[in-house]
């Protein structure tokens, strides 16, 4: 990590300078002694003012030198007694560094290409500029890859070198020669299709409701929410500028986010990092809610339960909107015992570091939702969707869907 390298360099400098310094002080002392000797010799033959001045000059340097000498020694003592403990370098688990590296270098956490992330939009021919920017952040599209990597992770020791290579996949492709395509090929085509189509469906729904969307296509970058989430605030400072450059190019005034994580970071973090970040940030749910009177009726004969996502319910305070939308479509739905601002987390956030723990939390949440005997669990967040699907047991035939997928039924015909 660049920051650490800088720090390391400083540390190195400290010691490096120290040796030079001791040498300098030592040489200085010798020189002065010699000089005094010379003066004494000279004295026998008569003192010259030049030599006296010179000695005073050397002595000044000498005291100056000793002063720094003292500082260095004090610093060494402090280091020794552990005063500097907090500055000790910390080696993080590799997975964090890999996610960071991928976002910063490739514009998304799993180093997919822009063209792969934007593949869903091919047939829609969305303009690249407009008032309302449709922002996927690549998050739904990335989901199947995250799961494939997490399953790689679960079977491997996180500390091993091989593991870092695997996680680095495309990130490290030049160094190791491991073919990222091979790893990513393990993603099932049907999963890839499902998650790619969510972005497509969202765009179609919004268009049919009369919204005029523009889309940045393969230039679109991931929001960087994970950088903020995982503590890489320094990287985020530069990354946010990269992303907002893409936003600026779209000439949009409003950005509609499919993922509540993206919406949260654009709404609360970006304005602090990027000057004149004056976009209105909306979530997909809000746009639908505004036009809820135009929504088609859906009669599926299946009961629905809402899984409120943490970001949506607690940070963005969007809970009633979801219910209003379902009501407008004539959908009867159940409420889980922990809902709205008391919703239970799907376990998604710690999937990368503690996959098994995350899995158990998801399974527990599914059980909570199933206590309502609903046939369909509806969520409105890519990570909730992926985490809940991952936590489902094989024999469980409850349908877990994103709100986008559910809504699309009414727009298909």
Partner 1 sequence: MTDLQKEFNSYSKDITMASKDENIEKAISRAVKSYRQTTAESLERFPHTPELAAEVREIKKTSIANQQALLKQAMESVERNKGKAFYAKDKQEALILAAKIIGTGKTIVKGKSMLGEELSLREYLQEQGNDVWETDLGEFILQLNKERPMHILSPSIHVPRERVAEIFTKFFAKEVPPDIAQEVAAVRDFMREKYFNADVGISGANVVAADTGAMVIIENEGNVRLATGAPPVHIVMVGIEKIVPTFQEAMKVTEVTWRYAQYGVPGYVNIISGPSKTGDIEKVTTYGAHGPKEFYVIFVDNGRSTMAKQDDYKAALHCLRCGGCMYECPVFQITAGHFGHIYMSGIGAVWTAFVAGGMEKAAPLVFTCLRCGRCVERCPMQINVPSMVQKLREKIVNG
Burial pattern 255-272, b for ≥16 Cβ within 10 A else e, equals: bbbbbbbbbbbbbebbee
Residue 176 beta carbon to partner 1: minimum distance, rounded to whole angstroms:
20
* Closer residue to partner 1 (CB): 48 or 233: 233
**Scanning residues 175 to 214, which ones bind partner 1 (CB under 8 A)?**
none
Q: Is the backbone of residue 46 left (phi > 0), alpha (psi -120 to 50) or beta?
A: left
Task: Write each residue from 317 to 346 as x if it is in contact with partner 1 (CB under 8 A), else as -, in one continuous string.
Answer: ------------------------xxxxx-
- From the list 182, 265, 254, the residue with the least C-alpha distance to 221 is 265
Contact status: 81 vs partner 1 (CB under 8 A):
no
Give the pairing type, strands 254-257 and 280-283.
Answer: parallel
Name the token pair of 106.
Answer: 């490739």
CA-based max dimension of the chain? 118
Q: Bridge partners of 305? A: 334, 377
Contact status: 11 vs partner 1 (CB under 8 A):
no
Contact status: 353 vs partner 1 (CB under 8 A):
yes
What is the rounded end-to-end Cα distance, in angstroms, of the chain? 52
Calpha distance 384→355 (Å, rounded): 14
Calpha distance 260→263 (Å, rounded): 5
Contact status: 357 vs partner 1 (CB under 8 A):
yes
**Scanning residues 227 to 246, which ones bind partner 1 (CB under 8 A)?**
228-234
Contact status: 13 vs partner 1 (CB under 8 A):
no
Contact status: 151 vs partner 1 (CB under 8 A):
no
Contact status: 91 vs partner 1 (CB under 8 A):
yes
Residue 324 beta carbon to partner 1: minimum distance, rounded to whole angstroms:
22
**Considering only 50-58, 114-122, 141-149, 357-365, which stretch makes contact with partner 1 by CB under 8 A?**
357-365
Contact status: 315 vs partner 1 (CB under 8 A):
yes
* Closer residue to partner 1 (CB): 205 or 362: 362
Q: How big is the chain, counted in residues?
A: 413
Chain residues in the site for partner 1 (CB under 8 A): 3-4, 7, 86-94, 96, 157-159, 228-234, 310, 314-315, 341-345, 347-350, 353-354, 356-357, 360-361, 364-365
């Amino acid at each position: 990590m660049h920051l650490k390298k800088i720090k390391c360099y400083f540390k190195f400098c400290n010691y490096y300078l120290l040796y030079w310094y001791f040498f300098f002080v030592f040489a200085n002392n010798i020189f002065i002694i010699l000089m005094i000797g010379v003066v004494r010799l000279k004295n026998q033959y008569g003192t010259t003012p030049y030599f006296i001045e010179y000695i005073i000059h050397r002595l000044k340097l000498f005291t100056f030198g000793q002063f720094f000498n003292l500082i260095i020694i004090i610093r060494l003592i402090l280091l020794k007694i552990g005063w500097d403990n907090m500055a000790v370098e910390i080696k993080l688990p590799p997975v964090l560094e890999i996610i960071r590296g991928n976002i910063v270098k490739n514009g998304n956490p799993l180093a997919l290409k822009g063209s792969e992330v934007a593949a869903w939009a091919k047939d829609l021919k969305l303009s690249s500029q407009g008032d309302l920017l449709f922002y996927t952040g690549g998050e739904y599209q990335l989901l199947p890859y995250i799961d494939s990597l997490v399953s790689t992770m679960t079977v491997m020791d996180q500390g091993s070198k091989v593991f870092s290579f695997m996680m680095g996949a495309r990130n490290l492709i030049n160094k190791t020669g491991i073919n990222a395509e091979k790893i990513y090929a393990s993603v099932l085509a049907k999963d890839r299709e499902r998650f790619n189509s969510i972005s497509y469906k969202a765009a179609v729904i919004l268009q049919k409701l009369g919204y005029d969307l523009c889309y940045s296509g393969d230039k679109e970058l991931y929001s960087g929410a994970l950088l903020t989430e995982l503590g890489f605030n320094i990287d985020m400072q530069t990354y946010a500028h990269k992303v907002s450059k893409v936003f600026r190019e779209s000439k949009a005034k409003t950005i509609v986010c499919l993922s509540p994580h993206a919406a949260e970071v654009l709404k609360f973090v970006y304005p602090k990092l990027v000057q004149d970040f004056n976009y209105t940030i909306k979530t997909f749910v809000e746009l639908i809610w505004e036009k809820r009177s135009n929504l088609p009726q859906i009669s599926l004969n299946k009961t629905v339960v809402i899984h409120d996502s943490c970001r949506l319910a607690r940070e963005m305070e969007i809970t009633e909107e979801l219910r209003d939308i379902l009501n407008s479509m004539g959908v009867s739905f159940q409420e889980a015992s922990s809902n709205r601002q008391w919703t239970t987390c799907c376990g998604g956030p710690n999937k990368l570091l503690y996959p098994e723990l995350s899995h158990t939390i998801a399974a527990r949440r599914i059980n909570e939702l199933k206590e309502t005997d609903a046939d369909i669990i509806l969520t409105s967040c890519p990570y909730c969707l992926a985490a809940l699907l991952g936590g489902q047991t094989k024999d469980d035939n409850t349908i877990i869907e994103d709100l986008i997928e559910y809504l699309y039924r009414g727009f298909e015909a």
